[in-house]
Copies of this chain bind each other. A is one copy, B any other.
């Protein structure tokens, strides 16, 4: 690759790293709100709390990758990301079936993250950043595990919601 060509790939790679960092901040906002509100879904609450810890660590790891390359993590993209996350959090919160919608949105969001890390792994390979590649492979495995958990528990969450909805006075939605 000539230097100019190399620069273009590196620039996109850095953009994607910053996007991923913003995405993990979105994830933290959403997961925090979900974990705090859940009452009658202890397994889901526990798994979300566990993934919240992973998410915070992922954001730190990404920040380290960005800073090692001389970039910084405070950008407009981060702000946009936070606004989107807030909107999503609010819309989920007012749903009459927030636990069901929350699980659905989380499942979709995990796949957004999975796609992002697959792109980043490819781009890290292209620009020859082995350390970032390994970080992204580690994070990808955590996102896939979370998506897999949500997939395996989705039916029971929806069934429990329909079940609790029939119990007078029960808080079915969270």
Contacts and interface: CB of A to CB of B under 8 A. Distances in A.
Interface residues of A, number: 38
A129 B116 CA distance: 38
Interface stretch (A4-12, A26-34, A35-43, A52-60): A4-12
A158 B122 contact: yes
Contacts of A155: 118, 122
Contacts of A158: 118-119, 122-123
Contacts of A166: 5, 8-9
Interface string A110-123: 11101110110011
A100 interface: yes
B165 A9 contact: yes
A166 B11 CA distance: 11
Given A107-B111, A108-B112, A9 B119 contact: no
A84 to B, nearest CB: 8
Interface of A: 5, 8-9, 12, 15-16, 80, 84, 91, 96-97, 100, 103-105, 107-112, 114-116, 118-119, 122-123, 126, 147, 154-155, 158-159, 161-162, 165-166
